[in-house]
Amino acid sequence: MDNPFIFRTYKTKEQFCDRQKELEKLLSNALSGADTTLIAQRRIGKTGLIFRLFDEIKTEKLPIIPIYVDIFATRSLDDFVKTLSEAIMAALPEKSSIGKKFSKFIKSLRPIITYDPLTSVPQIQLTLQNDVERQQTMKGLLTFLDIQNEKVLLAIDEFQQIREYPETNVEAMLRTIIQNLNNVTFLYCGSKRHVMLDIFSGERNPFYRSTEFLTLQKLDPIVYSDFIEAHFENAGIHIEHEATDYILDWTRRHTYFTQRLCHTVFAMARKKVDVDLVKKAAVEILQADSAVFGQYQQLLTAGQWNLLIAIAKEGSVSQIASSQFLHKYRLGNPSSVIRTMSSLIEKNIVDEDLADGKSIYSLNDVFLSRWLEEKY
């Protein structure tokens, strides 16, 4: 039997836990043409949810063409245009009439098309000379989608990346194009909360209030433990409740980490799972990842590293400038700790969450957190 606990790409809805409310919201927005901004901490399940949504659109045969583009690796507008055209190409069936039209359209841009030798996925190289040409091509791509008389849902993952482009006015340019589209609905997704919020709710910014916000929290503990237990029982393995609780607690119910621990436990299990087995699986994971964790120390300053250990030991911290916290871990003065914290957030190593208007800090990588907690 295949391991039912996935921790890489989305496979089937049976292996995907819940998110029913969010799914319905996204579906109704896609159908009504309302743009959405999806924000959540890293590895909580944003991308998984997008694929769950696409799966639903396909199995329910809804009249929407879903297109997914991940712009994490893009460094410029040029890259964005290229990645977007590849994504559209991949989403439209080659032999369909719209697919053929798109090929024609792309060819009119005189691209160099090569095929990945392993996957035979087409790679498009556009020879765009300047900003004006790049903008026109971007407009051309989106307008192409808009005039097909079909609803299109364009999900742009890691959208905050556009802030890293060297070109100026990227947001204004995109917003101007997008504003004039009728049939394309957008789903903007990202994990850098500050940046995403600034793009979509910064009063002076072009995308100000143009979308509806959706945030993903951790999965509900009862729903998640039922999901985990059902998958074990399905495979003829009995898991004790204490073991499930231990899994959720140790991984802080952070989806990727919970899934990975479940995956390892499942691989080790015979007839039954108890807390001891879960602990063994946890040790195995930390050992496997320790080489990577060790490297963090080299990449960080002593101050950053010490602060990281302090947060890990606490699990999560809210009063970072309190003398109690500073003394306990000998972290120095409040202002330098606040600065160090910002740098760790900027590097996406620490997550800042808000609860009742107060910031709560924790490590984005739960396994790194558990490893530091144990080692220091």
Ligand X SMILES: Nc1ncnc2c1ncn2[C@@H]1O[C@H](COP(=O)(O)OP(=O)(O)OP(=O)(O)O)[C@@H](O)[C@H]1O
Binding site for ligand X (CB under 6 A): 6-8, 10, 16-19, 40, 42-48, 191, 219, 255-256, 259
- Residue 4's binding partner among ligand X, Mg ion, none (Cβ under 5 to 8 angstroms by kind) is none
Tell me the closest approach of the beta carbon of residue 252 to ligand X, in angstroms.
Answer: 14
Task: Lay out the site mask for Mg ion across 43-62 (x = CB under 5 A, - = otherwise).
Answer: ---xx---------------
Tell me the closest approach of the beta carbon of residue 156 to ligand X, in angstroms.
Answer: 13
Per the CB < 8 A criterion, the answer to whether 41 and 218 are in contact is no
- Residue 43's binding partner among ligand X, Mg ion, none (Cβ under 5 to 8 angstroms by kind) is ligand X
Tell me the closest approach of the beta carbon of residue 46 to Mg ion, in angstroms.
Answer: 5
Tell me the closest approach of the beta carbon of residue 362 to Mg ion, in angstroms.
Answer: 19
Nearer to Mg ion, 19 or 46 (CB): 46
Nearer to ligand X, 6 or 53 (CB): 6
- Residue 44's binding partner among ligand X, Mg ion, none (Cβ under 5 to 8 angstroms by kind) is ligand X
- Residue 256's binding partner among Mg ion, ligand X, none (Cβ under 5 to 8 angstroms by kind) is ligand X
Residue 45 to residues 8, 16, 250, 345, Cα–Cα distance (Å): 10, 10, 18, 19
Residue 273, burial from CB neighbour count under 10 angstroms (0-12, 13-18, 19+): buried
Distance CA 239, CA 15 (A): 18
**Residue 160 found at the interface with Mg ion (CB under 5 A):** no
- Residue 246's binding partner among ligand X, Mg ion, none (Cβ under 5 to 8 angstroms by kind) is none
Distance CA 22, CA 107 (A): 39
Residue 66: CB partners within 8 Å, gap ≥ 6? 30, 53, 54, 57, 58, 91, 152, 153, 155
Nearer to ligand X, 27 or 126 (CB): 27
Nearer to ligand X, 40 or 308 (CB): 40
- Residue 107's binding partner among ligand X, Mg ion, none (Cβ under 5 to 8 angstroms by kind) is none
Tell me the closest approach of the beta carbon of residue 139 to ligand X, in angstroms.
Answer: 28
Using the rule CB under 5 A, give the single segment among 42-50, 244-252, 304-312, 342-350 that binds Mg ion: 42-50
Nearer to ligand X, 43 or 253 (CB): 43
Tell me the closest approach of the beta carbon of residue 39 to ligand X, in angstroms.
Answer: 10
Tell me the closest approach of the beta carbon of residue 287 to ligand X, in angstroms.
Answer: 21
- Residue 191's binding partner among ligand X, Mg ion, none (Cβ under 5 to 8 angstroms by kind) is ligand X
Buried b / exposed e along 23-52 (16+ C-beta atoms within 10 A): bebbbebbeeeebbbbbbbebbbbbbbbbb
- Residue 193's binding partner among ligand X, Mg ion, none (Cβ under 5 to 8 angstroms by kind) is none
Give alpha helix (H) positions in the chain: 20-32, 46-59, 77-91, 97-108, 131-146, 170-179, 193-201, 221-234, 241-250, 255-268, 275-299, 302-314, 323-328, 334-346, 366-375
| Residue nearest ligand X, CB atom distance | 45
Give alpha helix (H) positions in 202-240: 221-234
Phi–psi pair at 120, nearest 5 degrees? 50, 25
| Residue nearest Mg ion, CB atom distance | 47
Q: What is the CA radius of gyration of the chain?
A: 23
Q: Which of residues 62-91 bind Mg ion (CB under 5 A)?
A: none
Nearer to ligand X, 232 or 256 (CB): 256
Tell me the closest approach of the beta carbon of residue 363 to ligand X, in angstroms.
Answer: 14
Tell me the closest approach of the beta carbon of residue 260 to ligand X, in angstroms.
Answer: 8
Phi–psi pair at 215, nearest 5 degrees? -115, 145
Identify any residues that bridge with 296 across adjacent strands, giving them in sequence order.
Answer: none
Per the CB < 8 A criterion, the answer to whether 69 and 87 are in contact is yes
Phi–psi pair at 57, nearest 5 degrees? -60, -40
- Summarize as ranges the residues that interact with Mg ion (CB under 5 A): 46-47
